Amino acid sequence: MALRISVLGRGAWGSTLARLWSDSGHQVRLWSRRDGNDPVALLHECDLMVSAVAMAGVADLAARLAPLWPLDLPLLSCSKGIDPDALCSAAQLWQRHLPGAAIAVLSGPNLATELERGLPAASVIASSDQALALWLQKQLVAPHLRLYTNGDPIGTEAAAALKNVMAVAAGISDGLGLGANAKASLLCRGLAEIGTLVGALGGRSNTLYGLAGLGDLLATANSALSRNYRFGLQLAEGCDEAEALHRIGATVEGPSTARAVLRLAAVHGWRLPITEQVVALLSGEIDASRAVRALMERDLRAEAEA
């Protein structure tokens, strides 16, 4: 059955998804803020709304569309990050504006450039509404995109958000030439840090080891196709945040996510040492070498306590 799909966001990810689903026979309409068109028009004659805008644009868009949202229109959220003001995920922002809507999350190791080239990938559709997740899984599967489901949208989004911060840290490590041992240690502790956030927000521990957790981390922290990883490389070269963003020339979610997560950590008393050092580096308090040194010189403790 062909769906009428409206995609909010015409960046790399939104455009890639639109092409995948269009090639699968669905009717797809795209919207971008750059077009100057009214996104409200996409609510009509639509079976599925997909939000693939940058995290910074979610709150305004949700507030704009909510008053006219059809009661039976489901939403698939594909944005990754934590809102710096509301301190919540993209799907949680949508849910605040659309308390009665059926909402799911799409996440996983999905580098848009590889999908564009027809390379195989897998992703997860997470929703507390199992029927919705199963329906989306069946409808949106593509020849080289395998879809799984889980019932943990909170954990899925938390992992997807914080992995961008870990990808920045991985880029710094590689940019400084610290070697495979250091990077493996960093990613191992980074996964534990993601687990802290997932658990603290009420997510499930097994989500950490699935596509939205370990899978997304491995792809994003090891590929030059990842903007967050490339951003970390620029920081290691001595660029400040503004110059690094300018060189990337596209949205990089890691910096804003790191700051938002650290605000959450301050409120709740969580220990997130890698995120702390990334934020200190972004703020100009330390340089990349000192950030690494601060992590390596932390107090000795049992691995389970680190």
Dist. CA 299–CA 306, nearest whole Å? 9
Contacts of 25 (CB under 8 A, 6+ apart): 2
Contacts of 39 (CB under 8 A, 6+ apart): 8, 31, 61, 64, 65
Interaxial angle between packed helices 227-236 and 254-268, expressed in degrees from 0 to 180 and rounded to the nearest 10: 90
Dist. CA 66–CA 281, nearest whole Å? 38
Dist. CA 208–CA 239, nearest whole Å? 32
**In the annotation, is 138 catalytic?**
no
Q: Is residue 128 within 8 Å of residue 153, measured between CB atoms?
A: yes
Burial 200-228 (b: 16+ CB within 10 A, else e): ebebeeebbebbbbbbbbbbbbbbeebbb
Per-residue tokens: 180: 């495979």
Backbone angles phi, psi at 223, to 5 degrees: -125, 135
Would you please indicate which residues are annotated as catalytic (active-site) residues?
163
